């Protein structure tokens, strides 16, 4: 079972699991996921979609042998728009997913986030770092939801013996990102393709470490199968400034767009880079896709994303059609 399976990362994970020969139950309520992301999987004999809100419980007939819990708003635009829902999916939703894993003796993987490190004062960030988080700032709804998710996951592991794994995901990009989700890559790509100025926050000197989605999904598969309880960082240790990222995207799009500096959001971290020693040693995992190659694939997808999916153009209509 993949909760949040119609989301950006979740849909790629569903696709990977099916390609490996697994049967997949995809659970989503389309609060941030999209029907279009899984439309191509609907005719696969091993795929089943279930329209459910994980905060209200999980009704999954039959036994599951693995639970990937990805359900949650993940971009600042989404979790600032859905603050209460984000906290509830991190708490009630995680508990409900853990209860299902406990019921069936299934393995459980929680997708946590680099946001648990807050605005880090240790660089790069190892899993042993406890973070520097503002618990009452606007971003705290996501940070604290994931920190609680990690805590309850470990409580189920220690108290009930659930076979759990925690991964902390750093910035990920690739096909199926929503153009309006507020993150840097889709914003830069859509602006560059439209010939609009690329809006870079602050002075553009803040850094992120960008991991292509296929590499991340490979890490998720390895993490669940490893039996390593974690937490373990999954991200690309190659750092890039936001200015460099914007210029690279502009070049790949063949755009003449100029950069425009805009104010940075509150509590926006100055730097992010994962220490992936644990992932390398425990999972045998390292990201293999270069930034330029991953961005080239992402740009190509955005160019083609207006193609007919076989679903209604309106997202709500598409979701209703898929659920039916």
Contact 113, 73 (CB under 8 A): no
Query: What is the per-residue pLDDT for 318?
Result: 52
Task: Identify whether 49 is part of a domain.
Answer: yes
Any domain includes 186 = no
pLDDT in tens, 154-168: 999 999 999 999 999
Task: For residue 18, give its domain range.
Answer: 2-176+212-237+271-288+311-323
Distance from C-alpha of 206 to C-alpha of 220, rounded to nearest angstrom? 27
Look at residue 312 and tell me whether its pLDDT is greater than 70: no
> 173 catalytic, yes or no?
no
CATH number at residue 36: 3.40.50.720
The pTM of this model reads 0.91
Q: With the CA atoms of 132, 85, 73 and 139 taken in that order, what torsion angle do they form, in degrees rounded to the nearest 10?
A: -30
Residue 251 lies in a domain: no
User: Is 265 inside a domain boundary?
Assistant: no
Asked if 180 contacts 78 with a C-beta cutoff of 8 angstroms, the reply is no
- Distance (Å, rounded) from C-alpha 314 to C-alpha 30? 13
Query: What is the pLDDT confidence band of residue 257, given thresholds at 50, 70 and 90?
Result: confident
Contact at 8 Å (CB) between 30 and 5? no
**Residue 74 and residue 201: Cα distance in Å, rounded?**
19
SS3 label, residue 184: helix
- The CA dihedral of 104, 72, 53, 155, to the nearest 10 degrees, is 40
Q: Express each pLDDT in 29-59 by its tens digit.
A: 999 999 999 999 999 999 999 999 999 999 9
Residue 223 lies in a domain: yes
What Rg do the C-alpha atoms of the chain give, in angstroms? Answer: 19
Check residue 316 and give its pLDDT: 52
Q: Within a domain: residue 95?
A: yes
The two structure tokens encoding residue 30: 């389309």
How far is Cα 134 from Cα 268, in angstroms, rounded to an integer?
Answer: 11
**Kind of pairing, strands 198-201 and 259-262?**
parallel
**Does residue 299 form part of some domain?**
no
Residues whose CB falls within 8 Å of the CB of residue 118, separated by 6 or more in sequence, listed in order: 131, 132, 133, 134, 143, 267, 269
Catalytic residue among 142, 156, 173, 212: 142
Domain count, the chain: 1
Taking only the tens place, the pLDDT of each residue in 132-161 is 989 999 889 999 999 999 999 999 999 999
- Tokens 């991190």 belong to 90
pLDDT in tens, 59-103: 998 999 999 999 999 998 999 999 999 999 999 999 999 999 999
Q: β-strands 239-241, 207-209: how paired? A: antiparallel
**Host H or E run for residue 245:** helix 242-253
CA–CA dist 95, 91 (Å, integer): 6
Return the biggest CA–CA distance within the chain: 58
- Under 8 Å between Cβ of 116 and 269: no
Distance of CA 97 to the CA centre of its chain: 17
Q: Residue 205 domain-assigned?
A: no
The values of phi and psi at residue 213, to 5°, are -60, -35
pLDDT at 236 over 60: yes
For residue 129, how far is the Cα from the chain centroid?
Answer: 21
């Amino acid at each position: 079972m993949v909760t949040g399976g119609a989301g950006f990362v979740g849909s790629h994970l569903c696709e990977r699991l099916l390609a490996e020969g697994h049967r997949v139950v995809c659970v989503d309520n389309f609060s941030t996921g999209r029907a279009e992301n899984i439309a191509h999987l609907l005719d696969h004999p091993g795929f089943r979609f279930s329209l459910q809100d994980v905060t209200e419980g999980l009704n999954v007939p039959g036994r599951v042998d693995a639970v990937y819990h990805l359900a949650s708003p993940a971009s600042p635009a989404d979790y600032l728009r859905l603050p209460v829902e984000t906290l509830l999916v991190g708490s009630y939703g995680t508990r409900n997913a853990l209860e299902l894993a406990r019921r069936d003796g299934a393995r459980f993987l929680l997708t946590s986030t680099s946001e648990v490190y807050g605005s880090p004062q240790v660089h790069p960030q190892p899993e042993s770092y406890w973070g520097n988080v503002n618990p009452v700032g606007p971003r705290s709804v996501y940070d604290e939801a994931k920190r609680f998710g990690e805590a309850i996951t470990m409580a189920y592991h220690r108290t009930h013996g659930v076979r759990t794994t925690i991964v902390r995901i750093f910035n990920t990009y690739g096909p199926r990102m929503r153009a309006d989700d507020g993150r840097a890559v889709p914003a830069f790509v859509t602006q560059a393709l439209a010939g609009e100025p690329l809006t870079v926050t602050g002075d553009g000197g803040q850094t992120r470490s960008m991991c292509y989605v296929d590499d991340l999904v490979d890490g998720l598969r390895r993490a669940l199968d490893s039996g390593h309880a974690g937490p373990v960082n999954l991200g690309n240790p190659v750092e890039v400034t936001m200015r460099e990222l914007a210029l690279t995207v502009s070049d790949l799009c063949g755009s003449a767009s100029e950069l425009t500096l805009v104010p940075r959001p509150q509590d926006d971290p100055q730097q992010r880079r994962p220490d992936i020693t644990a992932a390398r040693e425990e999972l045998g995992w390292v990201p293999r896709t270069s930034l330029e190659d991953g961005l080239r694939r992402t740009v190509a997808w955005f160019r083609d994303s207006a193609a007919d999916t076989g679903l209604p153009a309106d997202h709500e209509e598409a979701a209703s059609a898929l659920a039916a």
